[in-house]
């Protein structure tokens, strides 16, 4: 069993789990690859904006953040921000559930820093974001402090045997057989599980950390 950190280009913190070689007695299927996206950057920014500016966007939105941010101010146009948030949330979550193909990574390696072509490739890999649509003005120093504190408090998995995927393997394998390839976690309270596209599953970090709740969430995908 092997685990490694994903490509660090501002997409978010995550990794891919797969078996590198068949091992007698190992119940992890050799062909099974599961990517875990821990709070992708564009998703975190949206969750912070929603609470820091007291937005109430329409549609399917997750519960409040575990670490409540302080109010950052008032939206310039509350209705426009809420509608933009709804659209951006769906777009960002779907992008997080997608896979980064070797073609895109190869194109990134072939382009040089500072060239428009490289910037375009990076935008494609990073996906949609609030900043691209409405600019950086909403992200005050309060956001940077909040995000730094959240990163410092992130729990660490001590060993692969303790990983949530290993502990919920009996539920994970059938979900993978049904097409699951990506788990996206968000640092929100309580339960919020939804299937994203054909191969993604969104849930709270607390759900993934609890074997029983994680197994129940994986059953939603099946």
Q: What are the structural domain ranges in the chain? A: 2-221
The pLDDT score that the predictor gives to residue 59 is 86
Helix (H, G, I), strand (E, B) or coil at 165: helix
Percent helix, strand, coil in the chain, to 5, is 45, 15, 40
Instruction: List the chain residues with pLDDT less than 50.
Output: 1-13, 102-106, 108
Q: Give residue 221's pLDDT.
A: 93
CA separation, residue 54 to residues 16, 71, 92, 95 (Å): 35, 8, 20, 25
Does the reported pTM lie above 0.85? no
Q: What is the pLDDT of residue 158?
A: 62
What local confidence, expressed as pLDDT, does residue 150 receive? 78
184 in Cβ contact with 203 (< 8 Å): yes
CA–CA dist 125, 115 (Å, integer): 16
**pLDDT score recorded for residue 104:** 45
Q: What six digits make up the tokens of 33?
A: 């690859």
The CA distance from 99 to 200, in Å, is: 10
Quick one: how far is CA 177 from the chain centroid?
21
Q: Residue 201 in contact with residue 215, Cβ under 8 Å?
A: no
């Amino acid at each position: 069993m092997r685990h490694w950190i994903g490509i660090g280009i501002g997409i978010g913190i995550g990794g891919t789990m797969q078996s590198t070689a068949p091992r007698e007695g190992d119940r992890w299927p050799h062909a099974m690859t599961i990517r875990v996206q821990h709070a992708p950057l564009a998703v975190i920014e949206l969750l912070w904006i929603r609470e820091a500016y007291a937005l109430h966007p329409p549609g399917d939105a997750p519960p409040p953040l575990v670490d409540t941010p302080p109010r950052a101010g008032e939206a310039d146009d509350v209705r426009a921000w809420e509608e933009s948030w709804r659209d951006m949330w769906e777009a960002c979550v779907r992008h997080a559930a997608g896979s980064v193909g070797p073609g895109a990574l190869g194109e990134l390696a072939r382009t040089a820093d500072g060239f428009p072509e490289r910037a375009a490739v990076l935008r494609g890999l990073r996906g949609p974001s609030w900043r691209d649509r409405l600019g950086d003005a909403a992200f005050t120093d309060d956001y940077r402090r909040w995000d730094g504190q959240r990163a410092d408090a992130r729990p660490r998995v001590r060993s692969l045997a303790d990983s949530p995927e290993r502990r919920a393997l009996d539920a994970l394998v059938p979900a993978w057989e049904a097409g699951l390839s990506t788990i996206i976690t968000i640092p929100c309270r309580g339960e919020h599980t939804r299937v994203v596209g054909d191969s993604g599953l969104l849930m709270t970090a607390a759900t993934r950390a609890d074997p029983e709740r994680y197994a129940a969430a994986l059953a939603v995908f099946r």
